[in-house]
Amino acid sequence: MSHLGYAALMDSFQATIDADGRIEPRDAMPDGYRKTLIRQIAQHAHSEIIGMQPEGNWISRAPSLRRKAILMAKVQDEAGHGLYLYAAAETLGVDRADLLDMLHTGRQKYSSIFNYPTLTWADIGAIGWLVDGAAIVNQVPLCRCSYGPYARAMVRVCKEESFHQRQGFEILHTLCNGTEGQKAMAQDALDRWWWPSLMMFGPPDASSTHSEQSMAWGIKRHSNDELRQRFVDMTVPQADVLGLRVPDDGLVYDESTGHYSFTEPDYTELYAVVKGNGPCNEKRLAHRVKAHEDGAWVREAAAAYAAKQQEAVA
């Protein structure tokens, strides 16, 4: 390709971004755009499948058959989200096996939130309400991401996350209207999950390395702090409905702005967890690697079957 040809292709990319259009897999794109998307989509996909673990931990201990069926469906949805996202990443020219290898060897990350333990049944409610709630706030704008396959995957993911958020709220609503002990269990879950949920949105804007460029490319539509604020504004009134107390003494509603002022989470904890030093990092990764190794025979059988089908056609 001539140098001039490359410049014209980049102009065409920029024109599409400026017009708020969609970049599709066949379109030319700067290397940095492709790399940023691979990083973010892979991290997102890894989060979905690692996110199955803390909830999967409670499938065998759900308090009723109905709760068990709902939780199984939710955990299965997360596997589906991983599938859409790995497929979206593959449209950028990477191989899913390589992405999984990067996850297993610690070269790619997944969301910090899944490195915390689920200690009680109320934690399953808190994950649905807070973690899926944060995911919705973060992901609804991604439905307008400039990269077509990621944006389209997000539409379906967000519909399912919305069901997940309600099921979590409903678990807590039931506990909060139960015995004193059940309500205390719900409060304890909120106390432990509040700060890690705020950290899901990433470091504050001033320390966010990728935000500016990602926003200029239309990958991210809002900054980390904007989305964190949106989450707090949405969630605090819901805590009031539950009769639970958000564990932040600095939380104040500001009439003049229509927003809550709140205490920032301890970002040194976020950095420590992202570096691998959270309470469950080792356990989560070891479990994932084992599941992958245990599933080798399924991949081999599928490949052998596909080869046989090819032979039959030839």
What are the φ/ψ torsions at residue 282 (nearest 5 degrees)?
-65, -45
The position carrying tokens 């449209």 is 91
Please report whether residue 39 would count as binding ligand BYC according to CB under 6 A.
Answer: yes
SS3 204: coil
Structure tokens at 159: 């519909």
Chain residues 64-83 in contact with ligand BYC, contact rule CB under 6 A: 78
Instruction: Compute the least distance from the CB of residue 211 to ligand BYC, in Å.
Output: 5
Residue 280 in contact with residue 116, Cβ under 8 Å? yes
Instruction: Give residues with Cβ within 8 angstroms of 163, minimum separation 6.
Output: 74, 77
Please report whether residue 123 would count as binding ligand BYC according to CB under 6 A.
Answer: no
Please report whether residue 57 would count as binding ligand BYC according to CB under 6 A.
Answer: no
Closest CB to ligand BYC among 92 and 131? 131
Q: What radius of gyration do the chain's Cα atoms show?
A: 21
Kindly indicate which of the ranges 12-20, 97-105, 109-117, 260-268 contains the residues binding ligand BYC, using the contact rule CB under 6 A: 109-117
Q: Which of 16, 224, 229, 235 binds ligand BYC (CB under 6 A)?
A: 224
Closest CB to ligand BYC among 91 and 208? 208
Instruction: Compute the least distance from the CB of residue 51 to ligand BYC, in Å.
Output: 3
Residue 199 in contact with residue 267, Cβ under 8 Å? yes
How far is it, in rounded angstroms, from Cα 29 to Cα 9? 8
Q: Which of 120, 146, 197, 214 binds ligand BYC (CB under 6 A)?
A: 214
How far is it, in rounded angstroms, from Cα 93 to Cα 89? 7
Comparing CA positions, the residue from 127, 125, 232 lying closest to residue 173 is: 125
Instruction: Compute the least distance from the CB of residue 90 to ligand BYC, in Å.
Output: 17
Instruction: Compute the least distance from the CB of residue 245 to ligand BYC, in Å.
Output: 24
How far is it, in rounded angstroms, from Cα 124 to Cα 165? 11
Kindly indicate which of the ranges 87-95, 194-202, 242-250, 284-292 contains the residues binding ligand BYC, using the contact rule CB under 6 A: 194-202
What are the φ/ψ torsions at residue 254 (nearest 5 degrees)?
-100, 105
Please report whether residue 166 would count as binding ligand BYC according to CB under 6 A.
Answer: no
HSE (side-chain half, CA atoms, 13 Å) at 186: 26
Instruction: Compute the least distance from the CB of residue 109 to ligand BYC, in Å.
Output: 5
Please report whether residue 43 would count as binding ligand BYC according to CB under 6 A.
Answer: yes
Q: Which of 21, 56, 148, 203 binds ligand BYC (CB under 6 A)?
A: 203
Torsion of CA 275, 37, 132, 99, to 10 degrees: -60
Please report whether residue 112 would count as binding ligand BYC according to CB under 6 A.
Answer: yes
Task: List residues binding ligand BYC (CB under 6 A).
Answer: 39-40, 43-44, 47-48, 51, 78, 109, 111-112, 131-132, 135, 138, 199-203, 208-211, 214, 220, 224, 274
